[in-house]
Structure 1
Amino acid sequence: MGPKRDVMYFYDPEVGNFHYGKGHPMKPHRISLTNSLVLSFGLHKKMTMFRSIPASDFNLCRFHAYDYIEFLKKITPANIREFPYSTLNTYNVGDDCPVFGGLFDFCAMYTGASLQGATKINHQECDIAINWSGGLHHAKKREASGFCYVNDIVVAILELLKYHARVLYIDIDVHHGDGVQEAFYLTDRVMTVSFHKYGDQFFPGTGDMYEIGTDRGKYYSINVPLKDGIDDHGYLYVFKPVIEAVIQHYQPSSIVLQCGADSLGCDRLGCFNLSIKAHGACVQFVKSFNIPTLVLGGGGYTISNVSRCWCYETALLVDADITNDLPYTEYLEYFAPDFSLHPSISYARAENLNTRQYLDNIIQSVNDNLKCITSAPAVQMQAVPPDLIDFDSENEDQEQYLSEVDQPPSIEPANEYYDGDSDNDKDLGVDIETAID
């Protein structure tokens, strides 16, 4: 099992009460369900829980364009008609990325939790930081995409880069982690590894095996494009050797793990056949390397299964054994009829099109690309810029410990899928040195 690792958990009781709109598959309410299970299983006793601090405009503009963040701050369902269609189109706001009440507050909330987790890791106050409300990997520098408005992952990685020469990003969402890959496509400071369904008709339409990065970032983007119906055995068959080889070659000093649960079987928008145990096995495998890790949520559109999965993975991260029988919570009816942690969700909704030969070819391709990296990239020593969140002075009083979070009355809300064109933003990548200064 390895040495015990200190775990911190970041959560805001309000985050589950935002609502994308009637019929929308993205449902922040799943975070409330997850947290309820975490508390009911007593997992909060094995980690330090914080009420997260919302990210400021300054935090968000380390990656995102100022005009885009100002737009998110101003637009509301009440004034949306005052904005020209061209403006809404520019920022890609519409059916898939709707304007809903509290939109900017929601973005600041989930991004702040990821940023806070990164800061705690930087100061070696924890080995693992968890933010299940984060992981919104599609958002671009100047536009929303795939139910994601602010890319908390990029903001958090920029913070980690102040203290860590190399950050490894791993994405097990069914959708390609395009926004994160694009942000770091030109640098060797971040290696992105995404396991996802790939195809022209599947959002976001990117993530081909031959997208490997460019300039200094050549060979530092790794994509594992999978076909419909991959099962537990096939997924772990390719995941473990790829991640092991990446860590051996790249030698990261911190990891960001996006745990999108739409790769589970029976997901409303997914097409894989993973069980919760196999999804968790990926998390456990990454944990086994004993590298400081920021663990984030992501996609997931059958909310009862998403919350089961993230609760189970929280248990794995704190080394707790929990029963298959779910304890009583205010949300117990969501888990009918079996009321179990591991329901039968991995049965084949789609034929498994991933042959052994296809998976072997992917593994070989990744290994060939890694051989082109002569050694782990070094970084010149320099003064460390101040933290994006200052925990000393005025913000010290904002930092709240949570033992058992009092959850406000829940509002039934919505979850992730955007079927559109790939990003056309001319500003490929982010200037690492400028962003972290």
Structure 2
Amino acid sequence: MAFNNEIVQAWVAPDPSPLTTSVEYLSYKQLNAADKERVHQMEAEENGIERPQGYTVSFHYNPEVEQHHFGSKHPMKPWRLQLTKQLVFGYGLHYAMDLNESLPASMSELARFHDNDYLNFLRYIKSPADIQKRHREELNRYVFTDEFNDCPIFDGIWDYVTLCTGATLEAAHSLSSGQSDIAISWSGGLHHAKKRQASGFCYVNDIVLAIQHLLEKYVRVLYIDIDVHHGDGVEAAFFNTDRVMTLSYHKYGEFFPGTGGPDDTGPKGYTEPGAYFSLNVPLEDGIDDKDYEWLFRRITGRTIEVYKPQVIVLQCGADSLGGDRLGKFNLNIKAHGKCVEFVKAHNLPILVLGGGGYTPRNVARTWCHETALCVGATLHDELPSFIPYRQAFEGPSHGSGLLYPELNIKRLSHPKTYERRDLENCAARCEEQLRCVMHHPVVSMARYPQLGTVLRAKQEVDAEIREELEDRGIQDEVKRRKQERATGRRGEYRSIVH
């Protein structure tokens, strides 16, 4: 997710929605609840949608997240989630899944990774007009005043981050508790946020929090990122552990965030925890469907074979599609979906997340298609006529009302800046790195001994340390104030004039 100070605008008020309702939707809207249900059922029957046999898919979402607004000129548009939801429900995919309207994440849940002071700042901050003086120090501390700041302050920011994170945490819990085998949270996948800093349109890192939750049950978690930008926030959070392996496919070079090079493999030195457990696949502009799929299958397949993860977290950032407002790749929707299809074929629990994507109509198409892949459904190309904002998908420049328009057409495609041997060298380098992982003790570990006991003990120790530091801070403050009141008395230093 790219940074550009020109796209960051102060929040004033939501701009008028660019979407207009279709004529068919206006007719549909007049129907009673039973007739609306029949319309959806007919659509589901036409697509052959039914609950998958042998596994359960859950869908986690809170529609209130759609109402938030980064600014009229900012490329991040939360209403892309509204378009996604309408396509998912329009095709009848909801009949094949367990639907969960998630609750916002709590302060204590966010504090498992993020700094409390930073969270308090997000919790109480308002629009820029209200904070010029009162919160200037915090703005500087958390880099919100940096010239390249791409994370604007907007009204409702706390609600937005807690809603996104709440859906992802609920999805992770659904996996760890055995309620579902594939859990989807399209509002999540905000992979750039750091412990005490927003970055790349991401304020809170729901992925890190979800992986922390999964580690309470699973020994090894594989994180796969197909966003066009490097998953730097997740990699940094688990930099020093071997229980999480991060695998990121992304554009590299003069491109945000500038990390994830071929030599970024984790801590240096084989004896360091986490060494070689950061696997990066830097790519050049213009990669197409065939090359991306070949590379993904080869590297991801070998990674799963070597690392033997017990659960996979898959971030499906849609800015790697052709025609994206910020991305530089030439992928079509079905090629992007091949990644989901390939990971699903390994029959492991999967947490499926959203991420980047700045051409909203194509984001919605992609995540609808990948929802269908999760439940094993095949969708017809013509979009349902009764979805509310069908006009957003119509016209030659918007995909002509199709679910699978060609996205790498000549006038929109990026020139290919690599050769086949570059991909082969990249794959060979990754396989060489995986050899360093192959015989690591964690790979052969079936279960983490007394994992729950260890985690509880760690939490108790952390709490005791915090209390001790707080007590010490209070005592030091009292001592300092007494000394200030008694400056110059016996025992104090004095300046001596000769």
Equivalent pair of 1:159/1:387 in contact (CA under 8 Å)? no
1:419 — aligned with what?
none
Give the aligned partner of residue 384 of structure 1. 452
Query: Partner residue of 2:121?
Result: 71
1:175 to 2:229 alignment: yes
5+ residue gaps in structure 1? 389-430
* Pick aligned residue for 1:288 from 329, 345, 348: 345
More displaced 10-residue stretch of structure 1: 85-94 or 106-115: 85-94
SS of equivalent to 2:273:
helix
Judge conservation of contact 2:187–2:354 (CA < 8 Å) in 1: yes
8 A contact 1:92–1:145 mirrored in 2? no
Q: Is this contact kept in 1: 2:216–2:451, CA < 8 A?
A: no
Q: Does residue 428 of structure 2 align to residue 364 of structure 1?
A: yes
Q: Which of residues 305, 320, 335 in structure 1 aligns to 2:393? A: 335
For residues 55 and 352 of structure 1, the distance between their equivalents in structure 2, rounded to whole angstroms, comes to 42
Aligned twin of 2:308: 251
Shift of 1:86: 4.2
Show the counterpart of 2:263: 210
CA distance in 2 between partners of 1:68 and 1:109 (Å): 17
| 1:71–1:126 Cα change, 3 Å | same
Q: Compute the displacement of 1:157 (Å).
A: 0.2
Q: For residues 43-65 of structure 1, give each alpha carbon's deviation from its aligned partner in whole angstroms, at most 9, with x where no partner exists.
A: 00000110011110010010001
Structure 1 equivalent of residue 143 of structure 2: 92
- 8 Å CA contact 2:121–2:138 kept in 1: the answer is no
Q: Name the structure 1 match of 2:466.
A: none
Aligned partners of 2:175, 2:346: CA distance in 1, in Å?
16
SS for the counterpart of 2:452 is coil
Q: What code does the residue aligned with 1:91 have?
A: Y
What is the CA distance between 1:242 and its match in structure 2? 0.4
Report what 1:155 is aligned to.
Answer: 209
1:272 aligns with 2:339: no
Shift of residue 387 of structure 1?
11
Q: Report the alpha carbon displacement of residue 352 of structure 1 after superposing the two structures with TM.
A: 1.1
Deviations 1:171-220 (A, max 9, x none): 00000000000000110010000000001x21000010110011210110
Superposition TM-score, scaled by structure 2 size = 0.76
Shift in CA distance, 171/433, structure 1 to aligned 2, threshold 3 Å: farther
Q: Give the residue type in structure 1 aligned to 2:261.
A: D
2 CA distance for matches of 1:135 and 1:177? Answer: 10
Distance 2:221 2:250 in 1: 20
Which string of whole-angstrom CA distances, capped at 9 and with x for unpartnered residues, describes residues 5-57 of structure 1?
21000111111110001100000100000000000000000001100111100
Whether the 8 Å CA contact 1:158–1:432 is kept in 2: the answer is no
Q: Which amino acid aligns with 1:360?
A: E
Task: Note the C-alpha offset of 1:299.
Answer: 0.2
Q: What is aligned with 1:193? A: 247
Return the structure number with greater helix share: 2
Matches within 5 A, 1:118-137: 118-137=172-191
Given the alignment of the two structures, is residue 347 of structure 1 paired with residue 400 of structure 2, yes or no? no
Whether 2:221 is the aligned partner of 1:164: answer no
1:93 Cα offset (Å): 2.2
Aligned partners of 1:284 and 1:89: how far apart in 2? Answer: 44
Residue 85 of structure 1: CA displacement? Answer: 3.7
- Shift of the alpha carbon at 1:4? 4.1
Q: 1:242 aligns with which of 299, 309, 315?
A: 299
Tell me how far apart the structure 1 counterparts of residues 91 and 455 of structure 2 sit (CA, whole Å): 34
Q: Once the 2 structures are TM-superposed, how far is the Cα of residue 87 of structure 1 from its aligned partner?
A: 2.2
Equivalent AA in structure 2 for residue 346 of structure 1: N
Distance in 2, Cα, partners of 1:167 & 1:298:
19
Q: Quick check: 1:242–1:366 contact (8 Å CA) kept in 2?
A: yes
Question: Which amino acid is 1:166 matched to?
Answer: R
Conserved 8 A contact 1:11-1:133: yes
2: CA distance between counterparts of 1:231 and 1:385?
Answer: 48
Q: Is contact 2:330–2:407 with CA below 8 Å preserved after alignment?
A: yes
Pick closer, same or farther for the CA change 1:359–1:383 going to 2, 3 Å: closer
Flag the structure with larger Rg: 2
Match of 1:36 among 86, 90, 104: 86
Q: Which structure is richer in relative contact order (CA contacts within 8 A, separation 6 or more)? A: 1
How many Å apart are 1:377 and its aligned residue? 5.5
- What amino acid sits opposite 2:394 in the alignment? A
Deviation at 1:91, TM superposition (A): 1.3
User: How many Å apart are 1:380 and its aligned residue?
Assistant: 3.7
SS of the aligned residue for 2:58 comes to strand
**Partner Cα distance (1:212, 1:383) in 2:** 26
* Percent identical residues: 50
Distance 1:433 1:342 in 2: 52
Q: What is the CA–CA distance in structure 2 between the aligned matches of 1:299 and 1:52, rounded to whole Å?
A: 21
Mapped pair 1:27 → 2:77: yes
Contact 1:136 1:151 in 2 (8 A): yes
Instruction: Output the amino acid matched with 1:64.
Output: H
How far, CA to CA, are the matches of 1:124 and 1:386 in structure 2?
22
Counterpart in the other structure of 2:492: none
